[in-house]
Chain A
Amino acid sequence: MTLLSVKDLRVTFDTEAGVVEAVRGVSFSLGRERLGIVGESGSGKTMTGRSVLRLIRPPGRIDAAEMVFDGQDLMKASEREMRALRGQRIAMVMQDPKYSLNPVMQVGAQLMEGLRQRDRLGGAEAKKKAIAALEAVQIRDPERVMAAYPHELSGGMGQRVMIAMMLIPNPDLLIADEPTSALDVTVQAEVLSILDGLVRDRGMGLIFISHDLRLVARFCDRVLVMYKGKIVEELAARDLLAAKHPYTQGLLNCLPRIGGDRGPLPGLDRTADWARA
């Protein structure tokens, strides 16, 4: 069953220096599966993710031949309908909890905001749900975390709070935009496994955006490789090593291997035909 279908998505920015195309005709569809989007910075992967929520700030503009989520045309939806989808059915975890949590609001207030404002729950009930959500991301003393401010949390804690917050309404689709890139390597694995478990248990669709090919391959069912705003290759995660596109191969070659040779790693050859399109 298709949850999300995107055809010929374009994101353009009208800047003073001219029109910049960040996403140039991306098409993909997604069921209740885990789709990875990889690419270097500026490849348009973040913009693709945010387009689904229609959260591109002006002067950015979204165009698509089709963008349908669970039977609902996102391109034609009113702002009000989009708001009903956001948070409730489509959620997003961003890169760095230092910036993605409101610095002057207590964690608890931010966690309960959706429950209180949208679902109109009473304080006690909202608190119960928020605490349950924090326990689901393996936070041991949820009461203390609820009363804390974001700057009092570590990066790993902050990101777990973010995940808990986004998963409270049990969305059908989660967009995880580099959810572990800002974290220490030691914490990355922990946060990933929490995210993995929750997505699996609740059977939601996941778009996992990352620049880390290996990570994506291990974590997702299917991988889209983006370069300069276009999808250059789509393949099943297990076939990653058999990638045909020179860009994908180039990315793979850039990674060091345990037991590999210790010479300098090769860079990307951007002079080839594929890189000029």
Chain B
Amino acid sequence: MSGLIAIARNEVRIGMRNKWIMLATAILLVFALLLVLLGSGPATSSSTDGLTIISASLATLSVYLVPLIALLLSFDAIAGEIDRGTLQLTLASPVSRAAVVLGKFLGHVIVLSIAVMIGYGLAGLCAFVAIENVAAEGVLDLARVVGTSIALGATFVAIGYVASACVRQTGTAAALAIAIWLFAVVLYDMALLGGLLADPEGVFATDLFPYLLVANPADAFRLFNLTALDAAGASTGFAAGGDVLPFAPQLAIASPFIWIAVTLWLTVVMMQRIKP
């Protein structure tokens, strides 16, 4: 256990000094502030809470940026350490291989949480000052987006480990991480959309589509958050789709957690077989 904590602390230290992570956090903050500025204009002075609307925008932002930060943190975790010879040192010490994986995960999720909380926390604070009459529900909506964004990020941290354990070179791991991001965040949605347009009434659209949607943790995150925000009165245009789902859209949030469990387990299994 002390080994796990030592590894987590080490990863937090390295992550907090990583320029790429700083840059990504800064981008997250800039985008979040832009959304706050645009979202707090006079047009939104409707019955809906301003923070709720901003939360909807931030959820969409999260789908793109949070997996990117997560993969930036994790792609190097195993391949890079083998490359540099530090994994040999770690594994020669009495710490267990499972503790190495879980310690890294804990450390990376802490770094990610700090990045998300800085980005969205500061943006939320600005919104709080800028918007009059903030309701408690609005704060709750923002907290939900922050919490689920961290869960989404944790999923991609763990997915990044699997990619990193598959290869032995840092460069290959980086390319694989970019491919994963592109596929999960951009191409997957396009493919689903293509399937829907090709046959709007077919088996794909009615039976397969909802499950394929939640199978992708990024889409599951979006579905969960936008459904919750629709209930709060922000018109995201997502509710129309929610009615035809064969399951309660709230259950979608299970998807990232299942992904975390499976990919972490897979990483531990792969780690046991690594011969550094």
Do the two chains bind? no
Binding site for B on A (CB under 8 A): none
